[in-house]
Amino acid sequence: MNRASSYVVAAACLAIGATWSLQPASSQQASSTSELNYEFFKSKVQPVFLAKREGHARCVVCHTFNNAPFKVVPLSPGATAWNEEQSRRNFEMVKRVAMPGFLESKLLIHPLAEEAGGDAHHGGAQQFASKNDPAWQTLRDFVMGAKP
Ligand code: HEC
CA proximity to 143, closest of 26, 34, 31:
34
Question: What pLDDT shows up at residue 20?
Answer: 47
Residue whose CB lies within 8 A of the most ligand 1 atoms, among 63, 102, 139, for a mutation test: 63
- Cα of 129 from ligand 1 centre, angstroms: 15
Tell me the whole-structure pTM to 2 decimals: 0.82
CA-nearest residue for atom 37, ligand 1, is 59
Query: Ligand 1: does its nearest atom lie under 6 Å from the Cβ of 108?
Result: no
Closest atom of ligand 1 relative to the 96 alpha carbon: 27
- Cα of 73 from ligand 1 centre, angstroms: 14
Mean pLDDT, residues 36-63 taken together: 97
Tell how many helices (H) and how many strands (E) occur in the chain: 8, 0
Q: What are the residue ranges spanned by the domains of the chain?
A: 1-28, 31-143
Quick check: 35 pLDDT over 70?
yes
Q: What percentage of residues in the chain have a pLDDT greater than 90? A: 75
Mean pLDDT, residues 18-22 taken together: 47
Beta bridge partners of 128: 112
Burial 35-73 (b: 16+ CB within 10 A, else e): ebbbebbbebbbebbeeebeeeeebbeebeeeeeebbbb
Give me the half-sphere count of Cα atoms (radius 13 Å) on the Cβ side of residue 77: 0
CA-nearest residue for atom 8, ligand 1, is 124
